[in-house]
Structure 1
Amino acid sequence: MSAETKASILVVEDEENLHETLKLNLEIEGYEVTSAFDGNAALKAVQNEYFDLIIMDIMLPGIDGITVTEHIRVQQNDVPILILSARNTGSDRVLGLKKGADDYLTKPFNLEELLLRVEKLIEKNKKIQVKETVGDTYSFAGNTIDFKAQQATTHTGALVDLSKKETQLLKLLIENKNDVVTREKILQMVWGYNVYPTTRTIDNFILSFRKYFEPDSRNPKHIHSVRGMGYKFTD
């Protein structure tokens, strides 16, 4: 994430006063805040946008916070989730963490503590996402990419000029070699804002890469689409 990009947080809380307090204080800290007042709205927001963190109340109208957390994890989305609960029972805490929450606070909570936990979860998540970086050039299967010059020499000897976005996406895929990179992560690292481009936008980039780098673009050996999940590079 670029330095000027604010971390974005989804606040899922149906109690209006508390919701406004959280929103105001998070914005003062420099975060971008999106609001959801029930479980369905939370799920919809997560499908349409990238978030660096979700603050999730357990007791929500419609779908409860634990179920929403479970749904998010089933979608292979590993956004950090901080659960808020009015019930101080050990079983609630264990269930929340079991279903995929990263942290848990009981109401009423200390605002300073909440802000500290938010900051720590976002920092930890950023560190996990930064993989080993590649150098200025990278070669595979007769292709050489020069990230600095934004050019590639293909296996046929052709010189291809790459756009800035193409270069960033290629670098991201190569840095995560053999791992699926989700479109959420592509959005965060390449587009740098939190409203998703359509999957087709990314697919068009992938099709271009295949034309450049694959001997047979219909049967790719290096640039893969993993249905319902994202994209993967293998050399």
Structure 2
Amino acid sequence: MGKRVLIVEDEKNIVDILSFNLNKEGYETLEAYDGQAGLQLALEQNPDLILLDLMLPKMDGFEVCRSLRKENRSTPVIMLTAREEEADKVLGLELGADDYITKPFSMRELLARVKANIRRNEMAAAAPQAAEHRLDLGRIQLDLDQMAAYKDGQPLELTQREYELIKFLASQPGKVFSREALMEHVWNYEGYVGDVRAVDVAVRRLREKVEDDPASPQFIVTRRGLGYYFSA
């Protein structure tokens, strides 16, 4: 049985194009044209991934994503938006979306992101327990079994993407990773296509939760012109 992708989009021509191309790649598709119907299908059908437009009738994409995560559903969500405002992307990621892509987008890029997010979710579900169950990095600790992060013994409220980002960086402290490398290793975009702004948004949100002063980070540090690294 093929992987199922739920498309929640109110423009029928976009739904038709997405369905056609996803079907060609072997995916089954479900379609919803408003937020309420999209949320209902997501909860009832448990798709492998959701393509979620932000501007929807009845319930916008933000509320759909928020409601989905309140139900403890970890289905990967890629936001579709025609708007370039950074605040929209930050809010969507904060509510638990895994990624975003801005219209107009290339079908090649969208299909690559669909494949990568489904694969990453499968890998996370199938990953064996690590022999080393905790990473203790001074003031920052990671519980690998519970997929939880702590600072000074207090739990950090991280999204799945933020946890994966800090875990990857913290597992190799001091090593600098470019944005493209992070897109490949954390976002699981093999042969990465697209822009790297998602990395900067995720790092900024992570710093707001982890750092004493996000403007002067101690843990998630920028190496100018090269990328990011974790400083224990």
Structure-1 separation of matches of 2:84 and 2:110? 16
Please, which of 92, 102, 105 is the counterpart of residue 96 of structure 1? 92
Runs of 4+ deviating beyond 3 Å = none
- Report the AA paired with residue 26 of structure 2: G
Please, which of 18, 27, 38 is the counterpart of residue 22 of structure 1? 18
**Which whole-Å deviations, capped at 9, do the CAs of 1:30-59 have from their partners, x for residues lacking one?**
001000100010111022112110000000
Query: Which of the two has higher C-alpha Rg?
Result: 1
TM-score norm. by structure 1 comes to 0.54
Written as runs of structure 1 = structure 2, the 5 A alignment for 1:38-49 is: 38-49=34-45
Please, which of 32, 37, 55 is the counterpart of residue 36 of structure 1? 32
- Report the AA paired with residue 132 of structure 1: P
Aligned to 2:50: 54
Q: Secondary structure at the match of 1:73?
A: helix
- Report the AA paired with residue 104 of structure 2: P
Q: Secondary structure at the match of 1:104?
A: strand
1:126 and 2:127 matched: no
Seen in structure 2, the aligned counterparts of structure 1 residues 178 and 64 have a Cα distance that, compared at 3 Å, is closer
1:85 and 2:81 matched: yes
- Report the AA paired with residue 82 of structure 1: I
- Name structure 1 gaps, 5 residues minimum: 134-176, 180-235
Structure-2 separation of matches of 1:32 and 1:109? 21
Structure-1 separation of matches of 2:37 and 2:73? 17
Written as runs of structure 1 = structure 2, the 5 A alignment for 1:138-149 is: none
Q: Secondary structure at the match of 1:84?
A: strand
- Name structure 2 gaps, 5 residues minimum: 130-144, 148-232
Written as runs of structure 1 = structure 2, the 5 A alignment for 1:198-213 is: none
Q: Percent identity?
A: 41
